[in-house]
Amino acid sequence: MFILGLESSCDDCSAAVVEETAAGPVLRSLVRESQDTIHGPFGGVVPELAAREHLLQVRAVMAGALAQAGIGLGDLDRIAVTRGPGLVGSLLATFSASKAVAWHQGLPWVGVHHLLGHLNAARFASPNLPFPALVLLVSGGHTHLYLAKDWTSLQLLQKTRDDAAGEAFDKAARMLDLGYPGGPLVDACAQTALRAADPFTPPKFRDGKASWSFSGLKTGVKLRVERNPRLAVAGAADAEVQGLCRSLQEAITTWLLKPLPGWAEETGAQSLVISGGVACNSRLRSEAAVLATRTGLLLAIPEPRLCTDNGAMIAAAGALLSPEADPWSQNADADLKLGA
Ligand code: KG4
Ligand code: ZN
């Protein structure tokens, strides 16, 4: 079965062709148009600009994915698209395009929850993952831990009380004038550090509820920059900036992974999936491998291009869902809930 997967929930416009086989999904093509140069000057995604750019990109991205896979529209068996959550103007670009193609070609159509997509990105390398699985989804908008009993269900265990982990990376990078998006730049800068700066203090939760908090890191970096204004302009080649990036990255990864062994024991999880843009982080990947060895969890982190938003993960999830009987009455949902 050949599936065309489309994703445009934020600032990446992406299409992929995936062949679903008895052994799992096989990636036949993946095309992604980034909008980093458009949003970079603003230090974050501007929804109206993102929506307009998606409209310009969507046809070429779809055509590119088909050409790269060496197939035509007539060879497709299904089309899958992100239904939500996300920026509604952004979502609508690929959502409408997918319905137009489905109508024109008479193709089965399926709308996919964005987070089910991130989970299914792990299916390419680990199609036989043992369940239940702990699923850590970490991106610019999400820092959520779920329990999955299979590839199509997610039950929330804990989430951030404030900022997402990706936001902490992006905001810190902005204060240090490293560029946008911040995660990969902080990661690269941290890797060049000879030593870490003073560690950040982990947040304390008086109500005892399992959760994370990353907004204190933003304040922490701000205070250090106020004390030492040179940090705001010194750039990635500066040893102090590198040390600060390293301690920031150590704090984020240590805090993210800390609750996982407890949850693994409580839920009887057999495996751990980490996905979303922050799963590209070099330290998170290496620390997760250490944790997996220690706890006996089977670790599945998709290759970096499948961790960030992409059409392939949507196709892989869409392959497992039932197509809609009436695609034409469906709509994108900026606030889509899981299981809806
Ligand atoms: O999943 P994604 O592409 O889009 C959202 O749904 O948000 O994630 C984007 C986020 C950004 O915050 C970006 O800075 C972060 O992922 N990111 C990273 C790395 N690569 C991307 N964060 C830390 N280290 C990285 N190497
Ligand atoms: Zn995402």
Q: Tens of pLDDT along the chain (340 residues)? A: 999 999 999 999 999 999 999 999 999 999 999 999 999 888 889 999 999 999 999 999 999 999 999 999 999 999 999 999 999 999 999 999 999 999 999 999 999 999 999 999 999 999 999 999 999 999 999 999 999 999 999 999 999 999 999 999 999 999 999 998 899 999 999 999 999 999 999 998 888 788 999 999 999 999 999 999 999 999 999 999 999 999 999 999 999 999 999 999 999 999 999 999 999 999 999 999 999 999 999 999 999 999 999 999 999 999 999 999 999 999 999 999 998 6
> Is the fold of 2-121+305-329 the same as that of 131-301?
yes
From 87, 135, 139, 178, the mutation candidate for ligand 1 (largest count of ligand atoms within 8 A of CB) is 139
Whole-number pLDDT of residue 262: 97
Whole-number pLDDT of residue 209: 85
Which ligand neighbours the alpha carbon of 276 most closely? 1
Binding site membership of 249 for ligand 1 (Cβ less than 6 Å): no
Whole-number pLDDT of residue 297: 98
Whole-number pLDDT of residue 44: 85
Whole-number pLDDT of residue 205: 87
Closest of 327, 255, 264, 247 to residue 132, by C-alpha: 264
Ligand 1: which residue has its CA nearest to atom 7?
140
Ligand 1, closest atom to CA 173? 14
Residue in this structure with the two tokens 């299916």, named with its chain if needed? 123
Binding site membership of 98 for ligand 1 (Cβ less than 6 Å): no
Binding site membership of 53 for ligand 1 (Cβ less than 6 Å): no
Q: Whole-angstrom Cα distance, residue 103 to residue 292?
A: 45
Domain boundaries, the chain: 2-121+305-329, 131-301
CB contact at 8 A, 244 and 176: yes
Phi and psi angles of residue 329, each rounded to the nearest 5 degrees, phi first: -90, 0
CATH 1.10.10.60 assigned to 2-121+305-329: no
Whole-number pLDDT of residue 206: 85
From 280, 284, 306, 307, the mutation candidate for ligand 1 (largest count of ligand atoms within 8 A of CB) is 280
Q: Which helix (H) or strand (E) holds 108?
A: none
Helix 182-191, helix 282-295: angle, nearest 10 = 80
Q: Whole-angstrom Cα distance, residue 296 to residue 68?
A: 39
Binding site membership of 20 for ligand 1 (Cβ less than 6 Å): no
CB contact at 8 A, 181 and 141: no
C-alpha of residue 283 to centroid of ligand 1, in Å: 14
C-alpha of residue 76 to centroid of ligand 1, in Å: 31
In CATH, the architecture of 131-301 is 2-Layer Sandwich (3.30)
Which ligand neighbours the alpha carbon of 180 most closely? 1
Burial class (CB within 10 angstroms; exposed 0-12, middle 13-18, buried 19+) of 293: exposed
Closest of 24, 271, 321 to residue 146, by C-alpha: 271
